[in-house]
Amino acid sequence: MSLPLDLFGSLFLHELSFWWVIVPSILLGYIVGAIPGFSAANTIIILLPLTLAMDVEVGLAFMVALYCSSRMGAGIPAILVNIPGTAGAAATPLDGYPMAKAGRGQQALAISFVASTVGGLLTTVLSIFIMPWLAEVSYHMHSVEMIVIMLFGISLIASIAARDTLKGLIAGFLGLMIGLIGTDHVYATPRGTFGLLELYDGVPLIPALVGLFAVSEAFMIIEQRSILTEKGLNILRGAGWSATLEGVTIALRRWWHITWTGLIGLVIGVIPGAGAAIASFVAYQQSRSFSRTPELYGTGHPEGLIAPESANNGVTAGTLIPMFILGIPGGATAAVMLVVLQYQGVNIGPTLFEQRPEIGYGVFIVMAVTYLLMMVTILPLARYMPRVTMARTVYLAPLIISFTLVGSFVPRDYVFDMFLGLLFGVIGYIGRRTGYHVAAILIGVILGPMLEQYFLRAMKMADGDLMVLFSSNIGNALWAALIVSVALPFALEYKRNRQRAAGTA
C-alpha cells in the first residue's frame, strides 16, 4: 500500500471544511464521555437515525469527533471529582484528583488536555504511515499474548500495593474474585452469583466504576466544606490563565512521555477486545516502572496523569486500524462505526484506501483535524472547569450519588445495577476508610474476567498444558518485558538505596 502523500494536504483541507459537524460533535463527546454509563458507542447508536441520514463523510466526521472527544471528556470528572466517566479513564484520578484537591485543577486539566490531544494527534499521524504493519499485530495477538498483556495491567496492583503490600494485594485479589462472578466461559456454569440472574453475565462494569469511585467519594467528602483543602481553595481562588499555561508547559516539556505512552495505547488499541482500560493501566504501570521518581506517583505527579490520558487517546486510532484494513473492529465504538459504514455501502478492506481514499485515509485525517479543533475548544475551558471543585459538598454529594447511580441503570435497564453501584460504594467507602486502594479493586474487576477468558481459551486449545503460555516467540518476548518492568523498580530502588548508603558512609 503506497502512500499518496500529495493527497493528504487536500484531504486535510477537505475534512477541515466539516468543522460545522466536528465542533458540535466534540462538545457532545465531552458531555457523554464525562457521564458514567454513557459512551461514544451508546450515543452513536442513539443518534443512529441521524447518522444514517447524513452523507457518509459527514457521518464519519461526526462519529470520529464524538469518539475522540468522549475519551478526553471521561478524564474531566476523573480529575475534578474522582469519577472516571469510562473505564478508560479509571487510572486518570490516581494522580489527577490529588492535583485537583490541592487546588491545581487547572494545571491538571491542561496537562490532561495536552496529553490527550498531542498523544491522540501523534498516534493518528503515525497510524497513517504504519497502518499495514500495525494491522499485522492484531493477527499475531492470540490468547497467550493477551494473557501477558493483561498481566501487564494487573501488575499495576503490585505498584499500588507498594505502599501497603498486604492491603494492596488483598484489594486486588478481591477485585479479581469479584470479576470471576458469573458463568464460566466454556460451559456457562453459574459461579458466585447468589442465585441472582442479573449476575449471570458477570459483574457489570459501570456500577463497579460508579460505586468504587463516585458513591464512596460522595460519602467521604461530606465531612469537608468542599473537595478542596483549605490551601487548595486559596490557590484556586487566586489562579488565573497562568495556571492553565503552566499545565500546558508541564505537559509539553514531557513530550517524550506523551509520545511513548501514546504508542502503548496505539498498539494495545490495535488488538481487538483489549481497549482503553487496559491501555491506561499498562501505560501508568510502565510510566511508574521507568520513572526516576516512582514514589511521587499517586500524589499528583504530572507523569502519572500524562500516561493514562495519552494512552487512552492512542487507543482511539488503534481500534480503527484493524477495522479498516481487516474488517475487525478493535472496540465497541469501532464496531458501531463499521455497521454504519456497511449500511452506507462502504466496502471495508485494503482496497478501500485505493478506491475511496477520502474515506480510508479520510477517517484518520478527520481524526487529526478533530484533535486540532479539540485543543482550540477545550483549553479555554480548563480555566473555568475547576470551579466545580469549589462547590459545597452538601450540594455536590447528592448530585454525584443520584446522577451516577442512574448512570449505572442505563446500560442494562436494571434497577439491580443501581443497588450494585451502592454496594460497591459501601465497599469503596470501607476500603478508603481503612487503607484499601479502590483502584486495585477496580483493576481486578475489569481485567479479571478478561484474563480468565483468554487463559481458558489457551488451556482448551492446549488440552490443559500450562506450557502453552510459553509457546510463542511474541509471547515469550512479552513475558521477558513483563518480568523486566516488574523487577526494574525494585532494582532501581535497590541501586538508589546503595548509592544513598555509600553517600552517607
Partner 1 sequence: MTESAASQLQEKRPVGGELIIPIAGLLFTGYYFTTIVDSPWTAQVSAFFVGSFLAVLSLIFIIKAAAMVRRGEADFGVRGVFNDTDLEFNRHWLLLLTIAYILVVEWGGFTITTFVFLTAAMLVLNKGRRPVFIALLSAAFAFGGYALFIFAFEVRFPIGPFERLVRWLLA
Q: Which is nearer to partner 1, 191 or 231 (CB)?
A: 191
Q: How many CA atoms within 13 Å lie on the side-chain side of 35? A: 20
Give me the least distance between CB of 409 and partner 1, in Å please.
6
How many angstroms separate the CA atoms of 134 and 114, rounded? 25
| C-alpha torsion sign, points 198, 438, 330, 55 | positive
| Cα 64 to the center of its chain, rounded Å | 17
Q: Which is nearer to partner 1, 260 or 419 (CB)?
A: 419
Give me the least distance between CB of 69 and partner 1, in Å please.
16
Least Cα distance to 309 among 38, 33, 27, 45 occurs for: 33
- Inter-axis angle of helices 165-179 and 438-461, nearest 10: 50
Give me the least distance between CB of 408 and partner 1, in Å please.
10
Contact set with partner 1 (CB under 8 A)? 38, 43, 46, 166-167, 169-171, 173-174, 176-178, 180-181, 184-187, 189-194, 215, 218-219, 222-223, 393-395, 397-399, 401-403, 405-406, 409-410, 413, 415, 418-419, 422, 427, 429-431, 433-436, 448, 451-452, 455-456, 459-460, 464
Q: Which is nearer to partner 1, 20 or 395 (CB)?
A: 395
The cell numbers describing 442, all together, are 477496580
Ramachandran category for residue 465: left, alpha or beta (phi over 0 → left; psi -120 to 50 → alpha): beta
Q: Which is nearer to partner 1, 168 or 360 (CB)?
A: 168
Give me the least distance between CB of 218 and partner 1, in Å please.
8
How many angstroms separate the CA atoms of 353 and 334, rounded? 18
How many angstroms separate the CA atoms of 374 and 415, rounded? 36
Q: Which is nearer to partner 1, 125 or 174 (CB)?
A: 174
Q: Which is nearer to partner 1, 134 or 176 (CB)?
A: 176
What HEC string does 258-327 produce? HHHHHHHHHHHHHCCCCCHHHHHHHHHHHHHHCCCCHHHCCCCCHHHHHHHHHHHHHHHHHHHHHHHHHC
Give me the least distance between CB of 341 and partner 1, in Å please.
23
Give me the least distance between CB of 160 and partner 1, in Å please.
14
Give me the least distance between CB of 193 and partner 1, in Å please.
7
The residue behind cell 464512596 is 216
Which residues, listed in sequence order, are joined to residue 191 by a DSSP beta bridge?
A: 182
Cα angle 391-397-401, degrees, rounded to a multiple of 5 = 140
Give me the least distance between CB of 144 and partner 1, in Å please.
16
Give me the least distance between CB of 399 and partner 1, in Å please.
6
Give me the least distance between CB of 453 and partner 1, in Å please.
9
Q: Which is nearer to partner 1, 43 or 316 (CB)?
A: 43
How many angstroms separate the CA atoms of 405 and 211, rounded? 8
Give the N- to C-terminal CA distance of the chain in Å, as an integer.
62
- Residue 179's contacts (CB-CB under 8 Å, 6 or more residues apart) are 202, 203, 444, 445, 446, 447, 448, 449, 452
Q: Which is nearer to partner 1, 434 or 473 (CB)?
A: 434
* Cβ atoms within 10 Å, residue 203: 23
Q: Which is nearer to partner 1, 71 or 437 (CB)?
A: 437
Compute φ and ψ for 191, nearest 5 degrees: -135, 130
Q: Which is nearer to partner 1, 68 or 221 (CB)?
A: 221
Give me the least distance between CB of 421 and partner 1, in Å please.
9
Q: Which is nearer to partner 1, 30 or 38 (CB)?
A: 38
Give me the least distance between CB of 43 and partner 1, in Å please.
8
Q: Which is nearer to partner 1, 177 or 375 (CB)?
A: 177
The residue behind cell 478481591 is 174
How many angstroms separate the CA atoms of 94 and 298, rounded? 5
Under DSSP, the state recorded for 161 is T
